[in-house]
């Protein structure tokens, strides 16, 4: 799994070019454009992606990754995010970085992207609903932003907040969840090199249904921790609220690490269906990133801190 850490870096100019290509491609209707551009981009980078793939794994297709989503801001059905997100305007975008830091700032996305290096990261994504995918993300370590903000010593956690735009996000007009969606990480989790902020996948700008234009990806936790369409990053001194663990604390803990030993009343976490495969796979501890992240939780009883 170390191969994921030593990821290859996509030169930024190339990345920008691809972004342009994709924008024009995505403007045309879904069915015709996506399969084509998805394949094209996949071929461009297949070498890079393959280097990061585990032996018995394959990438999920662009179509799968962009049409089967949980993003309740656009509705609760799996295809709702794809179908109901066309009104959402991900650009221009700015992110507010605030709280217990020496340098609070608000930055627009273009400026932020000029300060970071976009990398390819092929990660497994394990949904708490017991399905999973393998996704080639583009993004940069969250640690980059933390460094820019220079947190104070009593900043122990980070809270993230999704944009609140009920007029563009039909799900937010209903009250089945308290909006805006919030999530959080402990500082060492946030600093971990596997934790990234993603701006694209398969070499494309993130589509709205995947959390455009900027989302978190924490591959060893259940998917709902990887909050989408982030507008605020807040440094705080105690464990912040996180939407699902507020709504159903007995089902979803703050940590929500992929962990088969923690019982869930609704889904067995012992196996998962990899999208596109018939047989279920056994779910791996920390979603297969145990080697990289287990030390973060040494001495903690993960049945209590689930």
Residue 114 CA to chain centroid, in angstroms? Answer: 21
Structure tokens at 276: 């596109």
Tell me the window of 9-17, 114-122, 156-164, 272-280 that interacts with other proteins (CB under 8 A). 272-280
265/299 with CB nearer other proteins = 265
Shortest spacing between CB 56 and other proteins, in angstroms = 18
2/279 with CB nearer other proteins = 279
8/64 with CB nearer other proteins = 64
Under rule CB under 8 A, residue 67 binds other proteins: yes
Shortest spacing between CB 10 and other proteins, in angstroms = 27
Query: Site for other proteins (CB under 8 A): which residue of 265, 298, 299, 301?
Result: 265
> Before 180, cis peptide (omega within 30)?
yes
Q: Are 112 and 100 in contact (CB under 8 A)?
A: no
CA distance 272 to 114: 38
Query: Site for other proteins (CB under 8 A): which residue of 5, 9, 76, 294?
Result: 76
| Residue (of 13, 9, 3) closest to 141 by Cα position | 9
Query: Site for other proteins (CB under 8 A): which residue of 15, 49, 71, 72?
Result: 72
Query: Site for other proteins (CB under 8 A): which residue of 19, 42, 96, 273?
Result: 273
To 10 degrees, what angle do helices 12-27 and 30-52 make? 150
Q: Are 217 and 235 in contact (CB under 8 A)?
A: no
8-40 burial string, b = 16+ CB within 10 Å, else e? eebeeeebeebbebbeebbeeeeeeebeebbeb
**Total residues binding other proteins (CB under 8 A):** 27
Under rule CB under 8 A, residue 68 binds other proteins: yes
Residue numbers of the site for other proteins (CB under 8 A)? 63-64, 67-68, 72, 76, 78-79, 129, 131, 174, 176-177, 247, 263, 265-268, 270-271, 273, 275-276, 278-280
């Amino acid at each position: 799994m170390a191969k994921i850490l030593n990821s290859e870096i996509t030169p930024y100019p190339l990345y920008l070019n691809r972004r342009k290509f994709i924008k024009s491609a995505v403007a045309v209707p879904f069915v015709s454009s996506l399969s084509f551009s998805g394949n094209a981009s996949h071929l461009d980078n297949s070498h890079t992606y393959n280097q990061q793939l585990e032996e018995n794994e394959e990438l999920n297709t662009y179509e799968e990754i962009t049409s089967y989503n949980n993003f309740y801001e656009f509705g609760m059905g799996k295809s709702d995010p794809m179908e109901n997100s066309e009104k959402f305007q991900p650009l221009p975008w700015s992110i507010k970085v605030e709280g217990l830091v020496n340098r609070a700032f608000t930055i627009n996305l273009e400026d932020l992207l000029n300060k970071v290096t976009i990398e390819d990261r092929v990660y497994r994504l394990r949904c708490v609903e017991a399905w999973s995918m393998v996704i080639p993300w583009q993004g940069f370590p969250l640690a980059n932003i933390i460094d820019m903000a220079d947190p104070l010593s009593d900043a122990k956690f980070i809270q993230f907040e999704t944009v609140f735009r009920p007029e563009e996000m039909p799900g937010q007009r209903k009250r089945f969840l308290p909006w805006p969606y919030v999530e959080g990480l402990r500082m060492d989790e946030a600093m971990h090199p596997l934790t990234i902020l993603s701006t694209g996948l398969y070499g494309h700008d993130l589509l709205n249904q995947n959390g455009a234009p900027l989302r978190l990806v924490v591959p060893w936790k259940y998917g709902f921790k990887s909050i989408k369409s982030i507008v605020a990053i807040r440094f705080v001194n105690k464990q912040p609220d996180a939407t699902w663990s507020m709504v159903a604390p007995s089902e979803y803990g703050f940590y929500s690490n992929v962990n088969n030993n923690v019982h869930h009343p609704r889904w067995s976490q012992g196996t998962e269906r990899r999208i596109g495969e018939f047989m279920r796979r056994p779910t791996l501890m920390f979603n297969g990133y145990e080697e990289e992240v287990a030390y973060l939780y040494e001495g903690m009883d993960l049945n209590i801190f689930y």
